[in-house]
């Protein structure tokens, strides 16, 4: 959901969904900077024509926003073949998501040598992230909630990875992922994550606090007590 752009000093927000209506809706609410996806997210929308659907997402978000699409193959040759198909059938600006396994890291190095934008994903450990930084990955996607479920401290991982990015002057960005609630997103950002991608279910939680609705209702009530029921500033 969020990325810190060093040059523009601007926070970016990404959505973790491929649902076209959700993307259209939230693109009008928040200043999203991109869309992330993986095979499990794609499964929620089945059946779809994969490449056509991804191109439809690109048409919604435009060329100036990032689209992250994950490979399915687990072996080195298969990862490169998947990456080639993604870039050929969607567009060459896609960030190819590659899990940081031994074969995945090998593929990341080759993809970066060819100028491909890469998101290193399925990160659970600092060492995975350090290796992905060294390989030149553009984004690093640590799995926050999944790490917690494995008794791995995601905040410590993010803090140390952020330090390594700063120490080395790397252009890699931490794209924290896998959240079940807003508190986890906040914790990831406060630990130093330069980015997080959030599903719309978690995003909706940010607006569901009852106090927000009550505050709005109180403001309306006070205004109408002065200027009449159902009146607004535009009616003056």
Q: Annotated catalytic, 97?
A: yes
Catalytic residue among 65, 97, 126, 173: 97
Q: Evaluate the omega torsion of the peptide bond into residue 47 and state whether it is cis, within 30 degrees of 0.
A: yes
Q: Are 178 and 150 contacting, i.e. CB atoms less than 8 angstroms apart? A: no
Among all residues, which ones are annotated catalytic? 97
């Amino acid at each position: 959901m969020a990325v810190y752009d060093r040059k523009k000093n601007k926070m970016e927000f990404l959505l973790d969904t491929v649902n076209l209506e959700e993307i259209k809706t939230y693109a009008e609410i928040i200043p999203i900077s991109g869309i992330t996806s993986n095979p499990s997210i794609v499964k929620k929308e089945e059946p779809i024509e994969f490449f056509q659907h991804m191109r439809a997402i690109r048409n919604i978000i435009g060329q100036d926003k990032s689209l992250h699409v994950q490979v399915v193959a687990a072996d080195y040759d298969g990862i490169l073949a998947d990456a080639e198909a993604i870039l050929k059938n969607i567009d060459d600006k896609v960030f190819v998501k590659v899990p940081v396994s031994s074969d995945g890291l090998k593929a990341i190095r080759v993809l970066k040598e060819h100028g491909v934008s890469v998101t290193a994903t399925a990160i659970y450990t600092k060492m995975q992230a350090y290796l992905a930084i060294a390989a030149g990955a553009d984004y690093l996607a640590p799995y926050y909630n999944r790490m917690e479920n494995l008794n791995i401290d995601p905040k410590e991982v993010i803090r140390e990875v952020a330090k390594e990015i700063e120490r080395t002057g790397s252009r890699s960005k931490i794209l924290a992922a896998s959240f079940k609630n807003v508190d986890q997103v906040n914790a990831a950002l406060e630990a130093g994550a330069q980015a997080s991608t959030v599903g719309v279910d978690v995003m909706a939680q940010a607006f569901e606090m009852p106090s927000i609705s009550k505050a709005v209702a109180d403001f309306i009530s006070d205004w109408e007590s002065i200027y009449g029921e159902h009146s607004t500033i535009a009616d003056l």
